[in-house]
Amino acid sequence: MHSPAFVFTDLVCALHGYVKLQIYNYLRDILRSSSEGEELEKTKKEFIEELKVLEAELGDKPYFGGDDFGFVDVSFVTFYSWFYAMETFGNFKVEAECPKLIAWAKRCMQKESVAKSLPDSLKIYDFAVQIRKKLGVE
């Protein structure tokens, strides 16, 4: 029989893997899509649905683990820098759909370790523009 701590650790690791894979897939699909069309609309809808699941898991807690910044926060906040590019290419706003999630991301960005580690969203956007050009999307 597993101890509660072990089961919780397994759950956190599973959530971490799921989040990274799902968000990466949506990021990739939005970057590869033209700025309109059924496929992009489907991807945006699914992406927002996934974010809403995460937002529900976050609830009213400051961080996914409660009061402490933890493993899931570290894993997921890395994608926050990509949100501007995704929103721009996909013509949507995450904050309009998931305000608690964006408030969480901004709270994470107030941590010096996070702010110093993540690239600026505009630099990510410029990088994404180059990727799209190489893919022939723009």
pLDDT in tens, 61-94: 999 889 999 888 888 899 999 999 999 998 999 9
- Kindly report which listed range (1-15, 49-63, 93-107, 110-124) carries the lowest average pLDDT score: 1-15
Q: Where are the beta strands (DSSP E) in 68-136?
A: none
pLDDT at 7 over 70: no
H or E stretch covering 63: none
Does residue 6 surpass a pLDDT of 70? no
Identify the pLDDT of residue 25: 86
Output the average pLDDT for the chain.
85
In angstroms, how far is CA 47 from the centroid of its own chain? Answer: 9
CB atoms within 10 A of CB 26: 21
Please give the Cα distance from 123 to 118 (Å, whole number). 11
The one-character DSSP state at 66 is B
pLDDT band at 2 (very low <50, low <70, confident <90, very high): very low
Residues contacting residue 102 through CB under 8 Å, at least 6 positions apart: 94, 95
pLDDT in tens, 8-18: 455 556 665 66
Please give the pLDDT value at position 109.
Answer: 96
pTM, two decimal places: 0.82
Least confident among 24-28, 34-38, 75-79 = 34-38
pLDDT at 4 over 50: no
Residue 105 pLDDT: 97
